[in-house]
């Protein structure tokens, strides 16, 4: 669900950079308040690498294919570190794989980074219900993974459907976009289950990684 160069108007792309600058500043400000920020950097680096590599793992969902996003997982495990981690991962995905583009880096960061933060907030609700409960860890892990992909797909759909270039066949493009959005529904379930499994594994072997 990367938006490539040349799809969005320049004003939207510039606005994406402006919003990304604001959210990055907010995230870094929250990170600066973290007493364990130095200890959390290796964890953030590891998951940044996982996010970077995830776009190369494609899952066939006829009539198209989708790739893992993992922004919900990053939000659940990293919290405020997730947004800058995703921003760095997207930059390298654009440069190395050609996924997305540099002109749309800002909007893609909002597309995937803001849902990651929301997924992180959702995952933290489990701490009110019992952070050591496997049931709540699994449930909110699933929700975090599904929310990350679901919100990203919704923002992607809204941006693309309202900015289809006038020089292409609009109806055919809309049909392709609808098919792509339908393919995200099973991806939401896949990412939800994957995030839940990772959360349950970490709860068992290294529970401090899931503490906010």
Domain CATH for 170? 1.10.1760.20
Tokens of 124: 């933290």
Confidence at residue 6, expressed as pLDDT on a 0 to 100 scale: 83
Confidence at residue 20, expressed as pLDDT on a 0 to 100 scale: 97
Give the start-end residues of each E strand in 111-205: none
Identify whether 4 is part of a domain. Answer: no
Confidence at residue 199, expressed as pLDDT on a 0 to 100 scale: 93
Q: Which domain holds residue 120?
A: 10-210
Q: How many structural domains are present in the chain?
A: 1
Confidence at residue 169, expressed as pLDDT on a 0 to 100 scale: 52
Identify whether 14 is part of a domain. Answer: yes
Q: What is the pTM of this model?
A: 0.88
Identify whether 1 is part of a domain. Answer: no
Identify whether 106 is part of a domain. Answer: yes
Confidence at residue 104, expressed as pLDDT on a 0 to 100 scale: 93
Identify whether 166 is part of a domain. Answer: yes
Confidence at residue 66, expressed as pLDDT on a 0 to 100 scale: 67
Confidence at residue 195, expressed as pLDDT on a 0 to 100 scale: 95
Confidence at residue 68, expressed as pLDDT on a 0 to 100 scale: 84
Distance CA 50, CA 55 (A): 9
| Closest C-alpha to 95, from 68, 55, 45, 43 | 55
Confidence at residue 36, expressed as pLDDT on a 0 to 100 scale: 76
Residue where the block lists tokens 């540099």: 102
Confidence at residue 17, expressed as pLDDT on a 0 to 100 scale: 96
CA distances from 27 to 11, 82, 200 (A): 24, 8, 26
pLDDT tens digits for the chain (212 residues)?
788 888 888 999 999 999 999 999 999 999 998 887 787 888 899 999 989 888 777 666 555 556 789 999 999 999 999 999 999 999 999 998 888 889 999 999 999 999 999 999 999 998 888 766 788 999 999 999 999 999 999 998 888 888 766 555 556 666 767 777 777 788 899 999 999 999 999 988 888 888 65
105 neighbors 8 (Cβ within 8 angstroms): no
Tokens of 137: 């860890």
């Amino acid at each position: 669900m990367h938006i490539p160069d040349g799809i969005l108007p320049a004003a939207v792309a510039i606005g994406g950079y402006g919003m990304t600058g604001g959210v990055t500043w907010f995230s870094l400000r929250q990170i600066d308040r973290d007493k364990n920020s130095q200890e959390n950097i290796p964890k953030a680096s590891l998951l940044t690498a996982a996010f970077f590599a995830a776009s190369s793992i494609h899952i066939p969902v006829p009539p198209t294919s989708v790739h893992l996003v993992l922004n919900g997982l990053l939000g659940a495990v990293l919290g405020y570190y997730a947004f800058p981690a995703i921003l760095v991962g997207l930059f390298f995905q654009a440069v190395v794989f050609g996924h997305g583009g540099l002109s749309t880096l800002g909007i893609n960061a909002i597309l995937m980074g803001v849902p990651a933060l929301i997924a992180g907030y959702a995952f933290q609700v489990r701490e009110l219900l019992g952070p050591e409960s496997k049931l709540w860890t699994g449930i909110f892990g699933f929700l975090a993974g599904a929310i990350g992909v679901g919100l990203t797909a919704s923002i992607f759909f809204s941006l693309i459907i309202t900015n289809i270039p006038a020089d292409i066949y609009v109806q055919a493009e809309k049909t392709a976009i609808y098919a792509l959005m339908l393919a995200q529904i099973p991806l939401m379930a896949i990412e939800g289950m994957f995030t839940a499994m990772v959360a349950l594994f970490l709860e068992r072997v290294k529970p401090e990684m899931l503490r906010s």
